[in-house]
Amino acid sequence: MRVSRLFAPTLRETPAEAEIISHQLMLRAGFIRKAAGGIYSYLPLAWRVLKKIETIVREEMDAKGGQELAMPVIQPAEMWQETGRWSVYGEEMFRLKDRHNRNFCLGPTHEEMITTLVRGEVRSYRQLPLLLYQIQNKYRDEIRPRFGLMRGREFIMKDLYSFDRDEAGLDQSYKKMYDAYTRIFTRCGLTFRAVEADSGAIGGSGSHEFMVLAESGEAAISYCGSCDYAANVEKAELQPVQAQAEECLPLTEKATPGTKSIADVSQYLGVGPERTIKTLAYRTDTGSVVLALVRGDHEVNEIKLLNQVGCLQLDMANDEAIAGILQSHAGYIGPVGLDGSENVIIVADATVMNMYNAVCGANKRDLHYSNVNPSRDFKPAIIADIRLIQANDPCPRCGEPVKTARGIEVGQVFKLFTKYSTALQATFIGEDGKERPIVMGCYGVGVSRTMAAAVEQNYDQHGIIWPVPIAPYQAVVIPVSSKDEAQTAWAEKIYGELCAQGVEALLDDRNERPGVKFKDADLIGYPLKVTIGPKTISENLIEVKVRRTGETLYFSPEDYLEGIRELLAKL
Amino acid sequence: MRVSRLFAPTLRETPAEAEIISHQLMLRAGFIRKAAGGIYSYLPLAWRVLKKIETIVREEMDAKGGQELAMPVIQPAEMWQETGRWSVYGEEMFRLKDRHNRNFCLGPTHEEMITTLVRGEVRSYRQLPLLLYQIQNKYRDEIRPRFGLMRGREFIMKDLYSFDRDEAGLDQSYKKMYDAYTRIFTRCGLTFRAVEADSGAIGGSGSHEFMVLAESGEAAISYCGSCDYAANVEKAELQPVQAQAEECLPLTEKATPGTKSIADVSQYLGVGPERTIKTLAYRTDTGSVVLALVRGDHEVNEIKLLNQVGCLQLDMANDEAIAGILQSHAGYIGPVGLDGSENVIIVADATVMNMYNAVCGANKRDLHYSNVNPSRDFKPAIIADIRLIQANDPCPRCGEPVKTARGIEVGQVFKLFTKYSTALQATFIGEDGKERPIVMGCYGVGVSRTMAAAVEQNYDQHGIIWPVPIAPYQAVVIPVSSKDEAQTAWAEKIYGELCAQGVEALLDDRNERPGVKFKDADLIGYPLKVTIGPKTISENLIEVKVRRTGETLYFSPEDYLEGIRELLAKL
């Protein structure tokens, strides 16, 4: 392809709307254009990257016995009503009616559709296991679509569903997909980690997320440098911190004017934050108030809290709720005296129950209690692990201090067990002649998100640095002066030879200044720039510059092809 | 792939809902399953066929300089409002609102989207021409989705859009696409014809349709055996039939009781139908009545009529309209005396104006006129070619009698000229420094429809007969007895060798009777059945049966691979 013909309009300025680097660079480098909030056109360069990721995904799915099919994007409401998710999904689901007023949605996922499809066709254990997948557009009407492709409303997913006779079979299918995902992201040339994950609203238990490591990642992960433990911080389990027993002193009120934060009260009273109790108030979707207690230097893990309370959503309580329901005061909330109140659920992190003579809010303005002894002074409804893991917390597996990092979730594997097969009566007759629900799993790769994550992990101040396996083209041939006939003739020849040898090359044949051509090449991020300039003419040398390392190599016309092949193989 | 693992559930019975053969066979052979009216899942075998068609389409688009991209399926209303098609499209367009109550549609086509995209990026003639395409789901909410994939509500299309500086450029792009389409359907192994087509509601003029010939085709085409003329009958132009002049006799009323049809009145009065005038009454979308006149043995071409009248829709007038507006009687309508009436538009086929002393309805029950002389007795508002071409009509190009056939439209190429670029201000600065609208064309291939058309053209009483280039697999290896260890060992070996040699083979390893395995193979329609039976064991012979011809060949283990390769190449 000649750059003069390529539809890849680059921009000199960063569009104001773009907050994160992948969004900025993919707009500037002519990869994507916005059609509406969270809805993008993928221009030819992006489409080439996406096709490469798709091909890798497809090969790895097929290698594990996956069979590709394609289910409708537009799905009838009835099957979603059968599982109850027609109402659960809320505003995140795009809904529409056809001309006969029948209800449809645009599939945010396909558990209902595939289970309905399979239940009509699978009758015997002999037909299992079955691994079925598709690569297609998915739809989620996000409240705040943002970050370009990272959180779109229309996006490309690979979703595979496994169907097994029993949990042992599911374990095997899960393992296959875990291994396939490991290969996929390795082959894409990305640095990633598979982490234990909370299995969330989709149900079932047992899940891993595949995280591309990047500082801009929305997800925090913790991992151990000593063993192979890694988990989403949402999921990472913690043992309660053991404390030295102390004599329980009498509960005392302390005037603490203007000390709403742990840092303030800690400083005012001269006690370490690890001797204070942090109390956060949440409203549940049923109207109760949850008081979550953690040690002052710890943070609440809201996912763990949600799972403990068993509700779908928790929002921070506002001042009115704190005053009205709790009869307390924001910044001075504490559990003492509230453990008997109606509609108040106290959830204490297990570590809190090991504290002695601590400080906590006294539910009055400018007042705290000191010498709070949890086991003596209040009775939580729930005592559990509800805290967020932090750097240097002990590894849940080996006890060594953990590290933390940020990641972008690009894949997730889930055990669904029989959640959907039971709801939709997808059963089979076992070898023993008995009917039972099919045991399912589901496995997603965010294909368009993987492209964005690759950019978040691979860029510099000049632009994108594509990993070779998913680069839109591997090399661009640039004649320094487009008016120099010797250079352009050389460039044409080299371009022709590269293409003939199977290198995915572009020829920048535009009548532009060299600076423009080099800047565009760096912005778009081709792994190699092959420069034909005065040195080529005078010294018979072809310059090859490596985008990632900045390294410049010179080859003779006899060995440049071999050199480029070696560079591409090792990058 | 082993058939025991393949998700291709075959059915013994033909589902009652399926009216046409491709729908019946694709359901029975386990290619598709219905999710809702006009909305299907493509199971793995269908998906393999579709991927092969897509690959052929993609290669031919790329060969002509096409650049693949992907635009959103979900499109904001605003751009459709700019061209006016938001209202024109009516109920055929799937519409939805997002959570912020903004209007969107599911793209039935992408002229608005691509023109909006390109107008933001193309500024100079240097960036033209540009050929951009995508392969993706399209959505049309058909009133009566039917015939399986032939008229679906969610279907797969390739749509390419060309952008040129001028009409000469458009002609070149159009020619490229015409040639590419010819190669595509040839490579798919289909018998087809490119025919001149009406350019319909999409606008512009200059269009060809690519028709896969099949008796079940919805479209009628006429073609010449002597020259290369071929056209959709909707489009085929006709010269008026010349008639021998006669003396004009006086207009006479004739009692013709119970003769509502041309056949009846013709027989009753003892005159040939070619001496009668057929009058059809239509309501326009603006409330007028159109009287269309053709010779009694001719048929009205409603597309030509629509184009002449210049309205969007014509429906047959009902009895009330005929009595009320025309003051006439159904079955006895005629133009005499109605040519001055308000809201009545008489459109006469040019041949009618060459008739003498003809018979037509007298607008009263059981009464006709004879000796009607059109040029004397009434004055049409429009005289034009409005009749439908029939077999043996003279070829519009060479005059020889034409033939007719039926076809399935699988592709269409259109010149749009500046219809959309003008409406959406997609302009460029020409070499002369002047701003002008980009000259556009659009070019569609119905990918899923091509698969269905291939079945309509290639089947017998046993099932589908896939053309090799788009067959889901090329060969199936069948051990006659799955309990015979020698046979199954041979089958495994042959299957392994075929796969290793790049033949797309299946092994039917199911524990089924031979009849079931052969029936399934014929139903699904693999080009070759490789049978391992007693003859293989006793005589060292491998049987290869050709699905299309029924031919059976025997090969030795030394030469069967070469034999299969030759068969696949020549099929």
Let me know if residue A229 belongs to a domain. no
Let me know if residue B373 belongs to a domain. yes
- pLDDT for residue B198: 77
Give the closest of A39, A94, A126 to B96, CB-based: A94
Let me know whether B186 and B259 are in one domain: no
Q: Would the CB atoms of B74 and A154 count as touching at under 8 Å?
A: yes
Give the closest of A70, A94, A96 to B47, CB-based: A70
Conformation bin of residue A84: beta by default, left when phi > 0, alpha when psi is -120 to 50:
left
Let me know if residue B30 belongs to a domain. yes
Let me know whether B451 and B477 are in one domain: no
Task: Sort out which chain B residues have CB atoms less than 8 A from A54's CB and list them.
Answer: none
- The residue-averaged pLDDT of A521-537 equals 96
Q: Would the CB atoms of A42 and B137 count as touching at under 8 Å?
A: no
Task: Sort out which chain A residues have CB atoms less than 8 A from B99's CB and list them.
Answer: 91, 141, 143
- The residue assigned the tokens 């099957």 is A79
Give the closest of B69, B91, B137 to A73, CB-based: B137
DSSP state of B79: H
Task: Sort out which chain A residues have CB atoms less than 8 A from B51's CB and list them.
Answer: 68
CA distance A246 to A256: 24
- pLDDT for residue B203: 46
**Domain extent for B142:** 21-200+420-455
- Nearest by Cα to A343 from A301, A303, A381, A376: A381
Let me know whether B373 and B316 are in one domain: yes
**How close, in Å, is residue A57 to chain B by CA atoms?**
16
CB count within 10 Å of CB A15 equals 11
**How close, in Å, is residue A86 to chain B by CA atoms?**
15
Q: Which two tokens stand for residue A336?
A: 């003492």
Structural domain ending residue among the three candidates A384, A400, A428: A384
The per-residue pLDDT for range A433-488, each reduced to its tens digit, is 999 999 999 999 999 999 999 999 999 999 999 999 999 999 999 999 999 999 99
Give the DSSP H or E segment for B435: strand B435-437
Any long-range contacts for B258-267 (C-beta under 8 Å, 24+ apart)?
A: B258/B366, B259/B331, B259/B366, B259/B368, B260/B330, B260/B331, B260/B332, B261/B331, B262/B296, B262/B297, B265/B359, B265/B368, B266/B296, B266/B359
- Nearest by Cα to A129 from A142, A118, A113: A118
Let me know whether B51 and B179 are in one domain: yes
CATH number at residue B566: 3.40.50.800
Position B44 pLDDT exceeds 90: yes
Q: Which residue of B has its CA nearest to A33?
A: B117
Let me know whether A94 and A180 are in one domain: yes
Let me know whether A102 and A133 are in one domain: yes
**How close, in Å, is residue A527 to chain B by CA atoms?**
21
CB count within 10 Å of CB A50 equals 22
The per-residue pLDDT for range A280-308, each reduced to its tens digit, is 999 988 888 999 999 999 999 999 999 89
Let me know whether A439 and A308 are in one domain: no
Give the DSSP H or E segment for A118: helix A111-119
Let me know whether A365 and A262 are in one domain: yes
Q: Would the CB atoms of A96 and B91 count as touching at under 8 Å?
A: no
Which backbone phi and psi does B363 adopt, to 5 degrees? 65, 20
Position A60 pLDDT exceeds 90: yes
Could you write out the DSSP letters of every residue in A520-560? HHHHHT-SEEEEE-HHHHHH--EEEEETTT--EEEE-TTTH
Let me know whether A42 and A176 are in one domain: yes
From the number of C-beta atoms within 10 Å of its C-beta (0-12, 13-18, 19+), residue B42 rates as: buried
Could you write out the DSSP letters of every residue in A19-65? -SHHHHHHHHTTSEEEEETTEEEE-HHHHHHHHHHHHHHHHHHHHTT
Let me know if residue A209 belongs to a domain. no
Structural domain ending residue among the three candidates B360, B384, B408: B384
Pairing type for strands A67-68 and A130-139 reads parallel
CATH number at residue A151: 3.30.930.10
Could you write out the DSSP letters of every residue in A164-185? ESSHHHHHHHHHHHHHHHHHHH
Q: Name the pTM for this structure.
A: 0.90
- Please give the mean pLDDT across all residues of chain B: 94
Let me know if residue B247 belongs to a domain. no
Interface size A-B, in CB pairs within 8 Å, comes to 139
ipTM: 0.90
Let me know if residue B231 belongs to a domain. no
Structural domain total, chain B? 3
CATH number at residue B375: 3.90.960.10
Packed helices A21-28 and A447-457: angle between N→C axes, nearest 10 degrees = 100
Which backbone phi and psi does B324 adopt, to 5 degrees? -75, -60
A258, A370 contact by CB (below 8 A): no
Looking at the DSSP bridge assignments, the partners of residue A279 are: A293
- The residue-averaged pLDDT of A165-183 equals 97
Q: Would the CB atoms of B137 and A69 count as touching at under 8 Å?
A: no
- pLDDT for residue A325: 84
Let me know if residue B403 belongs to a domain. no
Give the closest of A4, A36, A44 to B76, CB-based: A36
- pLDDT for residue A200: 58
Position A243 pLDDT exceeds 50: yes
Let me know whether B196 and B138 are in one domain: yes
Give percent of chain B with pLDDT exceeding 70: 99
The per-residue pLDDT for range B380-438, each reduced to its tens digit, is 999 999 999 999 999 988 999 999 999 999 999 999 999 999 999 999 999 999 999 99
CA distance A483 to A93: 56
Give the DSSP H or E segment for B493: helix B485-500
DSSP state of B93: S
Let me know whether A259 and A137 are in one domain: no
- pLDDT for residue A204: 45
- pLDDT for residue B204: 45
Q: State the pLDDT confidence band at B285, using cuts at 50, 70 and 90.
A: confident
Let me know if residue A484 belongs to a domain. yes
Let me know whether B258 and B292 are in one domain: yes
The per-residue pLDDT for range B461-481, each reduced to its tens digit, is 999 999 999 999 999 999 999
